[in-house]
Amino acid sequence: MKVFITGGVGFVGGHLTKSLGQDGHTVHLLDNFKRGVQDPFVEDLVGKHQVKVINADLLDEASLGALDDDYTHIYHLAAIIGVVHVLQRPYEVLTANVRMTENVIALARRQKALQRLLFSSTSEVYAGTLVHMDIPIPTPETTPIALTALEQPRTSYMLSKLYGEAMCNMSGVPVTNVRLHNVYGPRMGMSHVIPELLFKAWKAKDGDSLDVFSAGHKRTFCYVSDAVRMIRALAEADSAVGQTVNIGNESPEVTIGELAKVVVSTVGRELKLVPQPATAGSPARRCPSMRLLDKLTGVQGQVGLEEGVGQTYRWYHETVFEGQGKTAQ
């Protein structure tokens, strides 16, 4: 296989590259490095495997026009994400994400032997359904989609992903859309619940208090290596062409308060957990149905929450907390 990955030095992209590189595939990563970093993790991949990093912008059609035309698989993971960006520049989030997807589809259309275009969507597409109607838990991909208010900045991101799914479905190329649910692990950036809690617990001293926002809200979490196995299985399965599939775990469903206990135990602190108000816009429950993924691929999550949080902490402790290293977003 010859693989092209947008946003390739980012969190999921880096781990996907590692998986593909270890299997001997040629991998080209495109990133503009506005959020991603070419850290030792990526540099190690380039040194050991058939990995090439391309510093370019997906909004630059000329740069994309100069790319190869013999990719067998294209993974489109790049997007403007993050609450800060969504709230401060929603118009750019909406329009740039759509333009990037349009340019990637154009690249896919000129490939000579493309087997799959995989588009990375989000669990945020269910946000409007949570607001306007009863949503089934676990949530299947067939759940009707409703929109949040169009004047709300947060709508821009989920709308760009829904529009992207539709664009890919109508593009005429073999496509699979994936909706990621609470994927976590090394290199994911600090503005996410697990790294944030790990950092707060690491900084605290025994006897201190640890504020836990949205403590009663429930989630299921998926370790990044499991997510990569799921994504690859879908991209390489003929049965997944034309499908939109959840990526994540159906169980165990834990509260953020329970997650905080796992974090504190992992770090080895004696802390008092103090529940705080729910974060604005945070859904009370988020849990994907994984029946379709199981039907199409048979792949299931293998890394338990305690094990995954432990592996995540060891990386952050060595690389970021103590090492002062950078992490992809």
Interval 155-196: pLDDT, tens: 999 999 999 999 999 999 999 999 999 999 999 988 889 999
Record the tokens describing residue 124, joined without a space: 């945020």
Inform me whether the pLDDT recorded for 311 exceeds 80: yes
Cα angle vertex 260, ends 183, 280, to 5°?
70
Inform me whether the pLDDT recorded for 237 exceeds 80: yes
- How many Cβ atoms sit within 10 Å of the Cβ of residue 305? 21
What is residue 115's predicted lDDT score, i.e. its pLDDT?
98
pLDDT by residue (tens digit) across 66-116?
999 999 999 999 999 887 888 899 999 999 999 999 999 999 999 999 999
Give the separation between CA 325 and CA 329, rounded to whole angstroms.
13
Inform me whether the pLDDT recorded for 323 exceeds 80: no
Domain limits of the chain?
A: 2-183+222-248+287-302
What is residue 240's predicted lDDT score, i.e. its pLDDT?
98
* φ, ψ at 30 (rounded to 5°): -115, 130
Give the pLDDT mean for 271-298: 93
Give the separation between CA 195 and CA 202, rounded to whole angstroms.
10
Handedness of CA 136, 140, 142, 147 (dihedral sign): positive
Give the pLDDT mean for 272-289: 90
* DSSP for residue 263: H
What is residue 178's predicted lDDT score, i.e. its pLDDT?
98
What is residue 329's predicted lDDT score, i.e. its pLDDT?
57
Tell me the β-bridge partners of 223.
Answer: 184
Share the mean pLDDT of the chain: 94
* The CATH number fitting domain 2-183+222-248+287-302, selected from 3.30.499.10, 1.10.760.10, 3.40.50.720, 3.30.70.20: 3.40.50.720
